[in-house]
Amino acid sequence: MHCKISIFDNDLLLTGANLNSEYFATRQDRYIYISKCDKLCEWYHGLLDRLCSLSFRVRAISEPPTKPDVDKQPLQSPKDSVQLVPGSVDPVKTPRKFRKIARKLISEYINNPQSDRDEHPGTSDTTVYPLVQIGPLGIREEERWLRGYLQDSETRNELWMTTGYFNISDEVRRGLVASQRPVNVLTASPIANGFYKSKGFSKFIPGLYRYLEERFYQQTQACKRITLSEYFRSSQDGKPWTYHAKGIWVFNRHSAMTVVGSSNFGLRSTGRDVEAQAIIVTRSQALRSALQNEVDALWKYSQKVNSKTFQDQYQMRSPLGWLLVRLCAKTKFLASMF
């Protein structure tokens, strides 16, 4: 589960951020707030209801049971704090049956023509199209849309794309190269990665993303239309911000399009996680300007990558770390975990 959706009455907040104090202080992310969008809120509420029905319930160790359908025995350990929703299938004991039921439940909902998930919130000049990506269930709306959009030879407007965790698939890379449009890609520098200076194996994760970034740079260097940049920003106390934003923007003279939500557009997002995105298309000049300002604000703290970037910054000095990074990057199964 990786999607982030917040609903307040008839207002909707789409973001890639988690509810963590760091996100409100020194962690860069994106937030788009849509007000008075009844149908859209109803649709996302229905999606969340179905995802919750496929999930475990959580309660504190000391919390007494309050519902008749919950076991009345007191919880004895942390593993007892999660319980299946009554009547649901155990994904651990019967994974195939669970996937079959889950796929049917979610697919029938998102493909229901009566669900009316496209909405024009408040005006007729802006439309929101929700997307759902759940790779393990074979639900790949975001993947299909992105493939088709990049293959559209008639659309050559400049594209801006960002992700905090750079691990895009070869298919997306080939699509960016073949799209015949200027492409700007922004990702976190190793110092802006949330795992920078962490402990255990996770301390090698920034190096893994840097290695994948370098490989992308080498594979696309001949394509002069693609510009790769890294985000780095210092706070007032000198500590670096971390970078977690993700999204796509395309602008033309009279309209704009953005993709906002939880997906990092990487192998993990497409193949393992539950992701919720939205495509927003607008002819509103005010919203178009706000989206352009968002792009400018993100790229303000960026530096373009060149060959020296991978020589002078964040060297992987540990032989063990370098071996683990290369192993993870070159093994599709392991790479899909990041």
Of 209 and 318, more confident: 209
Separation between Cα atoms, residue 131 and residue 128, nearest integer Å: 10
For residue 35, give every residue at least 6 positions away whose Cβ sits within 8 Å of its Cβ, in sequence order, or none. Answer: 10, 11, 121, 122
User: 275 pLDDT exceeds 70?
Assistant: yes
Q: 180-184, 253-257, 317-321: which range is least confident on average?
A: 317-321
Is 29 a residue of the active site?
no
Q: What is the pLDDT of residue 309?
A: 86
Q: What is the pLDDT of residue 91?
A: 86
CA dihedral 134, 150, 264, 241 (to 10 degrees): -170
Is 199 a residue of the active site?
no
Choice among 2, 29, 244, 246 that is catalytic? 2
Q: Quick one: pLDDT band at residue 72, thresholds 50, 70, 90?
A: very low
Q: What is the pLDDT of residue 74?
A: 44
Average pLDDT of the residues in 251-278 = 90
User: 143 pLDDT exceeds 80?
Assistant: yes
Give the residue from 104, 96, 125, 126 showing the smallest Cα distance to 53.
104
Q: Quick one: pLDDT band at residue 76, thresholds 50, 70, 90?
A: very low
Q: Which residue has the tokens 């049917």?
A: 104
Average pLDDT of the residues in 219-232 = 91
Is 152 a residue of the active site?
no
Question: Percentage of residues in the chain with pLDDT exceeding 70?
Answer: 86
Separation between Cα atoms, residue 2 and residue 275, nearest integer Å: 6
| Token pair for 243 | 């970078």
Question: How confident is the model over 91-121, as pLDDT tens digits?
Answer: 888 989 999 999 999 999 999 876 666 655 5
Amino acid at 45: H
Q: Average pLDDT of the chain?
A: 84
Average pLDDT of the residues in 177-189 = 91
